Homo-oligomer: A and B are copies of this chain.
């Protein structure tokens, strides 16, 4: 990224050197992009970033913590608009999330994180923390809809966000991010309107 002949980074005193953090995150991202998760090791990141391993371990207690930081560092371009109607909001959200996961390294990084969490206890914890935060954030779409009176007062926004995220995660994990608009809309419809037969046979009551 910089010129290869750059000077070795040094300590800048008894505080974190942001250059090192930057170099480490960049190296991690590049490795994930070039060689996938298989090529991603603390050793390799250190080598590429010209950083000492202890420097990485100092700031990222585990591989996943680093991975999550790389994931977070991706420029987000997710459409979280919660202006309603809710079905439109959800469609836009899923559409833009799938696109980002498809077209940037973010998707593969997040897949790696989920995979790692199946092996490593601390990874599982880190993922749980992260996904709870994300869930809470997404829940705002449902909260706004509830305030607008669009969805039933009894709806639990977090539960709804959980359901929504599950749908997205599993599509990511099974390489099905290329669903067409109709499939996504249909999934949203099931979440919002359910599937029970009614007077108008499942049409929205209103």
Interface residues of A (CB under 8 A from B): 36-38, 111-112, 114-121, 124, 127-128, 131, 142, 149-156, 159-160, 162-163, 165-167, 169-171, 173-175, 183, 186-187, 190-202, 204-206
Output the nearest chain B residue to A189 by Cβ-Cβ distance: B194
How many protomers of this protein does the assembly include?
A: 4
Closest Cβ neighbor of A118 among chain B residues: B115
Task: Determine if A170 and B159 form an interchain contact, defined as CB atoms under 8 angstroms apart.
Answer: no
* Identity of the chain B residue whose Cβ is nearest the Cβ of A152 in the assembled complex: B202
Contact indicator A197/B117 (Cβ below 8 Å): no
Chain B residues with Cβ under 8 A from A127's Cβ? 174
Kindly list chain B residues whose C-beta atoms are within 8 Å of the C-beta of A159.
183, 186-187, 190
Instruction: Return chain B residues, CB-CB under 8 Å to A153.
Output: 197, 201-202
For this complex, 9 residue pairs linking A to B, each with C-beta atoms less than 8 Å apart, are: A38-B119, A152-B202, A154-B201, A156-B186, A165-B170, A166-B170, A190-B191, A198-B204, A198-B206
- Residues of chain B within 8 A of A186, CB atoms compared: 156, 159
Bound-state Cα–Cα, A118 to B107, Å? 11
Query: Across the two chains, which residue of chain B brings its CB closest to A146?
Result: B197
